[in-house]
Amino acid sequence: MLDEAPGTAQPPGWTELRALVRAQRLVLSAPRSSGADLCLVCHGPPGQGSPLCFQCDLHRQCAGGSLADVVVPVAFAVKGSPHARQLWQYKSGRLPAAARAVPATMLRALLLVFLRDHGPCVWRAGGIRAPNQLAMVPTARGRPGIHPLRALIGPYLTAPWAELAARPGGEQARDLDPDRFAAKVLPDARVLLIDDTWTTGASAQSAAMALRRAGARSVATVVLGRHVGVAQAERAGLGPASTPFRLGSCAVHGHHAAAPDHAAAPTTL
């Protein structure tokens, strides 16, 4: 599914992408499979006395089996942290293109290297086979054109994209809504659903429901940043020092070796 980017104006190769991840890793914080008690679905801070956070608990009660099979955040996006800032900056229409370029480059590297190293962990944790279809959770404002994150990673991914269209007026919805998005038929598809920021999870889970309604057999969701408030992060003991991001591990890391850190050859998942 992952490939060397084609074209004459070569986007960065794996060695460079990996160097960009190393350059930002010290300011990143991420959930670990063996780490603190976190929501069993989104890996954010859980609710009191519950294995799930309030939102995931609510979603499960409403929609149960039609949600994503697995949700894996690459890192926490603690409010005000460099990662949260980048997730805002890379697609902000209020910033000039030059100010979006560095955050975009960093996020692209982080997502691609994560998918390459830990994609198999994600599929295994969801009990599903490797995906054969990609999808992006539409932006909240329903802006026209290709999603900025898809534009960044598209050249590296070989699987086809499933289009998710927002129902007119439905983009602003904040709750889980099976009709918020619609997809063309995807019989038996195994979808890797990508989102930049998970706040309540309502958008991503509504998108997962739409994909299932379109016939998808499985949906694995990977998000770049699991939003966490500052006080919430402190209460749960989350941060670069206590829960550091590590290239060799992920929220659902199993007992296997991730791709070696020096790997430079293209891979197909």
Q: Which is nearer to Zn ion, 210 or 250 (CB)?
A: 250
Under rule CB under 5 A, residue 42 binds Zn ion: yes
| CA separation for the pair 80, 115 (Å, rounded) | 25
CB of 253 to Zn ion, least distance (A): 4
Q: Which of 62, 81, 86 is nearest to 201 (CA)?
A: 62
Total interface residues for Zn ion by CB under 5 A: 9
CB of 17 to Zn ion, least distance (A): 17
CB of 122 to Zn ion, least distance (A): 8
Q: Which is nearer to Zn ion, 94 or 262 (CB)?
A: 262
What phi-psi label fits residue 201: left (phi over 0), alpha (psi between -120 and 50 degrees) or beta? Answer: left
Q: Which is nearer to Zn ion, 100 or 195 (CB)?
A: 195
Q: Which is nearer to Zn ion, 110 or 250 (CB)?
A: 250
Give one DSSP letter per residue of 119-130, joined into a string. Answer: HHHHHHHTT-PP
CA distances (Å), origin 116, targets 22, 119, 260: 15, 6, 11
CA distances (Å), origin 38, targets 12, 63, 72: 34, 21, 12
Write the single-letter amino acid at 82: P
- Residues between 48 and 67 with contacts to Zn ion, criterion CB under 5 A: 53, 56
| CA separation for the pair 207, 202 (Å, rounded) | 8
Q: Which of 73, 69, 72 is nearest to 191 (CA)?
A: 69
- Residues between 136 and 195 with contacts to Zn ion, criterion CB under 5 A: none
Under rule CB under 5 A, residue 125 binds Zn ion: no
Q: Provide the token pair at 207.
A: 């998108």
- Residues between 83 and 122 with contacts to Zn ion, criterion CB under 5 A: 118, 121
Under rule CB under 5 A, residue 223 binds Zn ion: no
Under rule CB under 5 A, residue 259 binds Zn ion: no
Q: Edge-to-edge strand order for the sheet containing 133-136?
A: 70-78, 218-228, 190-198, 133-136
Q: Which is nearer to Zn ion, 42 or 222 (CB)?
A: 42
CB of 89 to Zn ion, least distance (A): 25
Q: Which is nearer to Zn ion, 110 or 189 (CB)?
A: 110
- Residues between 224 and 253 with contacts to Zn ion, criterion CB under 5 A: 250, 253
Q: Which is nearer to Zn ion, 32 or 150 (CB)?
A: 32
| CA separation for the pair 269, 266 (Å, rounded) | 10
Under rule CB under 5 A, residue 41 binds Zn ion: yes
Q: Provide the token pair at 250.
A: 């992920």
Choices 5-13, 46-54, 129-137, 225-233 (CB under 5 A): range interacting with Zn ion: 46-54
Contact residues for Zn ion, defined by CB under 5 A: 39, 41-42, 53, 56, 118, 121, 250, 253
